[in-house]
């Protein structure tokens, strides 16, 4: 750090400049054939020159990276009003998947690696957006050139419907109501499922995978989660950080990969904020104005 500063002092020898001017000055120096031009009259041999110039160049690059990293342009997810939510709620999906009749958490050796595919909403009739297809596209570019609207990152799954999107928009906090529905599964799984559908408004299959997620988390994370629930530990600890509380971290680790594969839609991959604070760069840059 000290060394970087020293080098720049030698090179620039100037008053304070704006950050932009400073960055462009660094760029100029990086383009120079020789960074040693103004370095007094000490004589270096070729090898020394090359080594010193390499040190200078590396330092300049590090400085530049630091300054650029300090000002990341972050995606600022919007919130959506009732007009948008109602429009997405009332569309009819023309290619629904078969009902989910098994617990994906029972499957062994499921490959949960996700690629850069996107799930697109494709309107067969652009003038009447009441019906739509869900289509997997291998990239955002492919979806756009097909005239589809990206509804979330990764392939489509059971929660990809626009009805589920609308409910993700409407309920800023889905985790708490669904956690409660999971807890009452001691009554029956049917009661839990009804509970998720009624309190979160999700489609049947999306509710089913949320329930399996909750049951799996209860199985694998019960001790951790009981403590957090009893103590009312906030989702993130410390509160404004992006560090998850132990229960949510356990859910993420144990239930997250299969959930992402089967439900497919997550808030982050849909460009939506949530009651769980997440690193801004993990929220996919899309907006939903294709209602």
Ligand X SMILES: *[C@@H]1O[C@H](CO)[C@@H](O)[C@H](O)[C@H]1NC(C)=O
Show the binding pattern over residues 102-121: x = contacts ligand X (CB under 6 A), - = does not.
---------x-x-xxx----
Q: Which one, 25 or 278, has the nearer CB to ligand X?
A: 278
Contact between residue 163 and residue 89 where contact means Cβ atoms under 8 Å apart: yes
How far is the C-alpha of 177 from the C-alpha of 121, rounded, in Å?
28
**Least separation, in Å, of the C-beta of 60 and ligand X?**
26
Q: Which residues contact 208 (CB under 8 A, 6 or more apart)?
A: 99, 100, 158, 193
Specify the stretch interacting with ligand X by CB under 6 A; choose among 47-55, 67-75, 164-172, 223-231: 67-75
> DSSP for 195-257?
HHHHHH---HHHHHHHHHHHHHHHHHHHHHHHHHHHTT--SBSSTTSSPBPHHHHHHHHHTHH
- Count the helix, strand and coil residues of the chain and give each as a percent rounded to the nearest 5: 50, 5, 40
Pick out residues in 248-287 that bind ligand X (CB under 6 A). 285
Single residue of 81, 108, 125, 127 touching ligand X by CB under 6 A: 81
Stretch that binds ligand X, among 24-32, 46-54, 129-137, 223-231 (CB under 6 A): 129-137
The stretch near ligand X (CB under 6 A) out of 14-22, 26-34, 77-85, 251-259 is 77-85
Nearer to ligand X, 13 or 113 (CB): 113
Stretch that binds ligand X, among 20-28, 51-59, 133-141, 215-223 (CB under 6 A): 133-141
206 is an interface residue for ligand X by CB under 6 A: no
Regarding 74 and contact with ligand X (CB under 6 A), the answer is yes
Which tokens in the block code for residue 51?
């080594």
Omega within 30 of 0 (cis) for the link into 238:
yes
Shortest distance (Å) from residue 236 CB to ligand X: 10
Q: How many CB atoms lie within 10 A of CB 249?
A: 16
**Strand 131-137 with 92-93, pairing:** parallel
Cα–Cα distance measured from residue 123 to residue 94, given in angstroms and rounded to the nearest whole number: 10
Considering only residues 84 to 103 of the shown chain, the ones binding ligand X according to CB under 6 A are 84, 95, 97, 99
Residue numbers of the site for ligand X (CB under 6 A)?
Answer: 73-75, 81, 83-84, 95, 97, 99, 111, 113, 115-117, 134-136, 138, 155-156, 204, 239-240, 285, 289
């Amino acid at each position: 750090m000290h060394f970087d500063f020293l080098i720049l002092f030698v090179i620039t020898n100037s008053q304070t400049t704006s950050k932009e001017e400073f960055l462009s000055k660094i760029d100029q120096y990086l383009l120079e054939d020789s960074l040693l031009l103004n370095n007094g009259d000490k004589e270096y041999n070729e090898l020394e020159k090359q080594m010193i110039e390499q040190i200078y160049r590396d330092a300049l690059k590090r400085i530049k990276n630091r300054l650029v990293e300090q000002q990341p342009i972050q995606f600022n997810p919007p919130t959506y009003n009732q007009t948008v939510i109602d429009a997405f709620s009332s569309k009819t999906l023309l290619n629904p998947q078969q009902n989910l009749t098994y617990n994906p958490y029972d499957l062994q050796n499921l490959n949960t690696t996700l690629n850069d595919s996107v799930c697109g909403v494709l309107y067969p009739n652009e003038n009447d957006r009441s019906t739509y297809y869900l289509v997997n596209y291998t990239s955002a570019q492919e979806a756009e050139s097909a005239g589809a609207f990206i509804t979330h990152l990764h392939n489509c799954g059971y929660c990809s419907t626009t009805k589920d999107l609308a409910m993700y928009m409407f309920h800023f906090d889905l985790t708490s109501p669904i956690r409660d529905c999971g807890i009452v599964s001691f009554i029956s799984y049917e009661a839990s499922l009804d509970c998720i559908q009624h309190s979160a408004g999700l489609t049947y299959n999306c509710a089913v995978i949320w329930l399996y997620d909750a049951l799996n988390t209860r199985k694998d994370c019960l001790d951790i989660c009981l403590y957090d629930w009893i103590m009312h530990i906030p989702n993130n600890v410390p509160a404004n950080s992006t560090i998850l509380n132990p229960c949510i971290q356990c859910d993420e680790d144990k239930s997250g990969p299969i959930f992402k594969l089967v439900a497919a839609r997550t808030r982050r991959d849909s460009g939506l904020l949530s009651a769980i604070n997440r690193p801004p760069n993990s929220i996919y840059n899309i907006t939903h104005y294709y209602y």
